[in-house]
Amino acid sequence: MVYENPDGVMIGLEVHVQLNKANTKMFCSCTSDYTDSEANTCLCAGCLALPGTTPVLNEKSVDYAIRIGLALNAEIENETDFFMKSYFYPDLGNGYQVTQFDRPIVKNGSVVIEGEDGELKVRITRAHMEDDPGKMAHFGTIEKSTGSIIDFNRSGMPLVEIVTAPDMRSAKEARRFLDKLRSILEYLDVFDGTREGAMKADANISVNVFNGKRIEGTRVEVKNISSHKAVEKAINYEIMRQKDYLRKNKQLVQETRHYDEDRNVTISLRVKETADDYRYFPDFDLVPMIVGDRVEGIRAQMPELPDAKRERFVSQYGISDAHAKSLVTERAFADLFESVAAKVDQKSAASWVADVVKGELNYRDLPITAIKGDDIVTVIEMVTKKEISEESGVTVIRTLLDDGGKPADIVKAKGLAMVADDFIATAAKEAIAESPDAVADYKAGTEKALNFIVGKVMQKAKGKADARLAREMVLKELEKM
């Protein structure tokens, strides 16, 4: 099936997910948690590919791949196997990468994202297991480098490569796909997305309609882009470059390019290899795997995923779809919401957690652990009981994040307690006496004039009055006139 594509841009992604929660590397017992270790210290003869070593498969990495496949609504291959993909590169000790070829463990899945014009189902062609090479660092830029150094700590890490069909039509859709995928993977607890290099993407980009005419699009692959923001920028650059070539009648070639984030350009690395160049060959150290019998056990233990949770939040708590969508992007956030919603009004819980708490955490770039659910509950209760205004509630949340402490102490220290009703009644009378023009306008039928008077009451209460009550009291006074 070919998707209709009016803009003429087709984007497919290959996403490499490092299973850094699999405890060990893919074929040896070295730790998968090497991030904070010194270079070249998490190694053994196996992951250095020294002669005479044989691989022992980490079962957990297989289970994680199955878990990912199920989350992507895909088919799991009953019998699967490993191949050697040969290429010469200094960070690859074996001279080949262990990967899968014609029988990937996962195939034919899909992920639904918000497209440019409504829901877009991005097809997942396949997802296969492979091991990561070591990590090279180049002195200077990749084109003009005078030398390189290698750290083998990463060598042999289990990866799952997820390959999409070219169903995305803009850089923004590609970014949304990656955000959604990351969210799903975090729910699955198969990787820690905050680790450097935990998720990397290659983007295939081709422009196949230009100036309203269908052309033979040339697929260009931009390799190893590490952040979602960089993927979006790299794709936008590449679309612009390809259209510029077409405009000038220059020949586009099928090639692999590198994205230089500092300069925001892509540069040619090599003309694209074909499968033949890799000389795929069955890995004679690894027997075929029968995985079918594991699938049902794993399926039974699958967590609730973001889409299902979003639907449940709307039906169970009666909150808006926009709030539900915002709350489920991170599992920890969804959990926080549910713990708060168990104790206070559920709609209030949704708007405080999704709008206020999430916004303030993001603004400060703080993790969710920076705030306690019980403190949020206390703040919501104080607002509901009209002990403090909504505005003051936000101040309390901000103070909790900036300085810590207890909500009640913050209210006291900052003098946020709501003023008494009789204060508002007096303030309403004063505000009316001070605003003869507004009163006359209101009496003449200008509803808006009321806001001016209520605003004056709020000023007198220094924001520590309930705006609805202030309005009611102003109206009551006006009726007497």
C-alpha span between 454 and 458 (Å, rounded): 6
Q: At its nearest, how many Å lie between Zn ion and the CB of residue 45? A: 8
Q: Strands, E, within 132-180: which ranges? A: 135-138, 148-151, 158-164
Q: At its nearest, how many Å lie between Zn ion and the CB of residue 96? A: 17
Q: At its nearest, how many Å lie between Zn ion and the CB of residue 44? A: 3
Q: Rule CB under 5 A: is residue 46 a binding residue for Zn ion?
A: yes
Q: Rule CB under 5 A: is residue 295 a binding residue for Zn ion?
A: no
Angstrom CA distances, 58 to 63, 131, 275, 386, stand at: 9, 11, 27, 57
Q: At its nearest, how many Å lie between Zn ion and the CB of residue 250? A: 47
Interface residue with Zn ion, options 7, 37, 44, 363 (CB under 5 A): 44
Ramachandran assignment for 354, one of left (phi > 0), alpha (psi -120 to 50 degrees), beta (any other) = alpha
Strand partners, 220: 205, 255
Ramachandran assignment for 363, one of left (phi > 0), alpha (psi -120 to 50 degrees), beta (any other) = alpha
Per-residue binder mask for Zn ion (CB under 5 A), 54-93, x = binder: ----------------------------------------
Residue number, 14 or 130, with CB nearest to Zn ion: 130
Angstrom CA distances, 178 to 146, 190, 211, stand at: 34, 16, 29
Q: Rule CB under 5 A: is residue 47 a binding residue for Zn ion?
A: yes
Residue number, 47 or 327, with CB nearest to Zn ion: 47
Interface residue with Zn ion, options 19, 30, 207, 349 (CB under 5 A): 30
Per-residue binder mask for Zn ion (CB under 5 A), 396-415, x = binder: --------------------
Interface residue with Zn ion, options 10, 15, 22, 28 (CB under 5 A): 28
Q: At its nearest, how many Å lie between Zn ion and the CB of residue 32? A: 10
Angstrom CA distances, 23 to 16, 158, 186, 191, stand at: 18, 10, 16, 10
Q: At its nearest, how many Å lie between Zn ion and the CB of residue 19? A: 15
C-alpha span between 323 and 73 (Å, rounded): 25
Sign of the Cα pseudo-torsion (143, 146, 151, 155, in order): positive
CB 227 within 8 A of CB 198: no
Residue number, 30 or 328, with CB nearest to Zn ion: 30
Helix (H/G/I), strand (E/B), else coil: 218 = coil
Residue number, 152 or 177, with CB nearest to Zn ion: 152
Residue number, 92 or 234, with CB nearest to Zn ion: 92
Q: At its nearest, how many Å lie between Zn ion and the CB of residue 296? A: 32
Residue number, 47 or 344, with CB nearest to Zn ion: 47
Q: Please, which residues have CB within 8 angstroms of residue 25's CB and are 6 or more apart in sequence?
A: 31, 32, 47, 58, 131, 155, 156, 157, 158
C-alpha span between 307 and 275 (Å, rounded): 36
Q: At its nearest, how many Å lie between Zn ion and the CB of residue 28? A: 3
Q: Rule CB under 5 A: is residue 349 a binding residue for Zn ion?
A: no
Size of the site for Zn ion (CB under 5 A): 5
Q: Rule CB under 5 A: is residue 45 a binding residue for Zn ion?
A: no
Residues that bind Zn ion (CB under 5 A): 28, 30, 44, 46-47
